Amino acid sequence: MRARVGYLMCVLAAVAATARCGEPRSCVLIVRDAPAIPMSGNPRIDFASLPGGAGPLQEAVQDAAEASRKSPWLAAGMSLVIPGAGEFYTDRYLKTGIFIAVEAALWILANAYDDKGNRQTDFFQNYANAHWSVVAYVQYAQKTFSVAQAYQVINPGYGNYPPWMQINWNALNQMEQAIGATDAGSYYSHILPAYNTQQYYELIGKYPQFNQGWDDAPPSFAYGGIRSTEALWYDGQRGQANTYYTTASTFVGIALVNHVVSAVDAAFSAGSYNKGLHASVETRPVPTLYGGYTAVPVVHLAWGF
């Protein structure tokens, strides 16, 4: 019975030794009250002298080593979700810190540039609201193109409202299409989108068609002529906002790449961990309570090259 208890304790010790890996670890188990056995110094002979033989202990060591292996698929999946998690699982703590630091830095930068883009967007939109008037744009079109005079675009009695609230937008778009169908107004290639949309703010600074809505527009304008200075400056400010958003998107893309790179590295780290995992068993002579010595099994589970 005591021998069976001894072997059971050896198995538990071997499994417990797998809980911590890194520096080589040893687990020593002494079978108390074991009968004194002369020691030969040869582990094979001394193991064989143990009641029941060395087979169960050797199998326990092998099972413990197998249980300590790291799954490459699990490591990769962990790092794919959280960069560095798979490296932590495979005891690569330096790489864990590097991947986490890179991930945090990329998201901080992405958020910072996204905020810059938002602030820049508010800035150029406020500038457009102050310096571009859809009413002035309509008035110039109706004065220049006879076909435009057939449309009631500006609502009477709305003069105290902001320009974009004075406009019948359906009539405006019909007027633009009618002008675009003429030879003189062929550069009217777009219809103005609804106010306060992304396309609205893009078009008024991008296309010559909308040049006459700016404060500094000349009395007349011919396609290919000198553009409004305000329009050109405004378009540059809008472009700056797009640059900020593009930079933010780039950092997000790099962060996604960081997930993939970490997942691949974690899979390789698990493979390297498993290759470096070693298990061994030996005996040591230990004095017994009744005099003499007994063969005590010592289980070593170690990770390293």
Say if residue 235 is in the same domain as residue 293: no
Residue 300, pLDDT score: 53
In this prediction, residues 37-60 reach a mean pLDDT of 51
Say if residue 294 is in the same domain as residue 241: no
Residue 272, pLDDT score: 87
In this prediction, residues 19-26 reach a mean pLDDT of 40
Say if residue 130 is in the same domain as residue 238: yes
Give the pLDDT band (50/70/90) at residue 142: very high
User: From CA 59, how far away is CA 43, in angstroms rounded?
Assistant: 16
Residue 260, pLDDT score: 96
264 domain residue, yes or no: no
User: From CA 133, how far away is CA 67, in angstroms rounded?
Assistant: 74
In this prediction, residues 280-298 reach a mean pLDDT of 63
Say if residue 142 is in the same domain as residue 235: yes
User: From CA 293, how far away is CA 289, in angstroms rounded?
Assistant: 9
Residue 17, pLDDT score: 41
> 197: closest CA among 164, 219, 155?
164
> 235: closest CA among 213, 199, 200, 204?
204
**pLDDT greater at residue 28 or residue 62:** 62
Residue 284, pLDDT score: 65
- 244-265 pLDDT tens trace: 999 999 999 999 999 999 999 9
Q: What is the dihedral of CA 21, 26, 27, 29, to 10 degrees?
A: 170
Say if residue 179 is in the same domain as residue 281: no
Residue 59, pLDDT score: 58
Say if residue 25 is in the same domain as residue 129: no
H or E element at residue 121: helix 93-131
Listed in sequence order, the DSSP H helices in 132-285 are 134-144, 169-180, 198-206, 229-275
Return the beta strands (E) in 7-145 as ranges: 25-28
In this prediction, residues 56-80 reach a mean pLDDT of 75
In this prediction, residues 164-182 reach a mean pLDDT of 96
Say if residue 139 is in the same domain as residue 211: yes
Whether the predicted pLDDT of 232 surpasses 90? yes
In this prediction, residues 271-282 reach a mean pLDDT of 71
Say if residue 213 is in the same domain as residue 164: yes
Residue 56, pLDDT score: 56
In this prediction, residues 259-286 reach a mean pLDDT of 80
199 domain residue, yes or no: yes
The number of folded domains in the chain is 2
Residue 292, pLDDT score: 65
Residue 288, pLDDT score: 64
Using CB atoms within 10 Å of the CB of residue 175, give its burial: 0 to 12 exposed, 13 to 18 middle, 19+ buried. Answer: buried
In this prediction, residues 81-95 reach a mean pLDDT of 94
Residue 12, pLDDT score: 38
Residue 76, pLDDT score: 94
150 domain residue, yes or no: yes
- 193-219 pLDDT tens trace: 999 999 999 999 999 999 999 999 999
Whether the predicted pLDDT of 44 surpasses 90? no
186 domain residue, yes or no: yes
Say if residue 197 is in the same domain as residue 143: yes
Say if residue 194 is in the same domain as residue 135: yes
Say if residue 241 is in the same domain as residue 136: yes
Residue 289, pLDDT score: 61
8 domain residue, yes or no: yes
Residue 157, pLDDT score: 83
* Range(s) of the domain holding residue 289: 2-69+276-303
Whether the predicted pLDDT of 47 surpasses 80? no
H or E element at residue 299: strand 293-303
Q: What percent of the chain has pLDDT over 70?
A: 69
> 61: closest CA among 34, 35, 27?
27
Say if residue 51 is in the same domain as residue 123: no
- Tokens encoding 175: 């007027």
Give the pLDDT band (50/70/90) at residue 5: very low
Q: What is the dihedral of CA 210, 212, 213, 219, to 10 degrees?
A: 180
250 domain residue, yes or no: no
- In degrees and rounded to multiples of 5, residue 101 shows phi and psi of -65, -45
In this prediction, residues 151-169 reach a mean pLDDT of 91
Residue 279, pLDDT score: 54
79 domain residue, yes or no: no
89 domain residue, yes or no: no
**pLDDT greater at residue 47 or residue 255:** 255
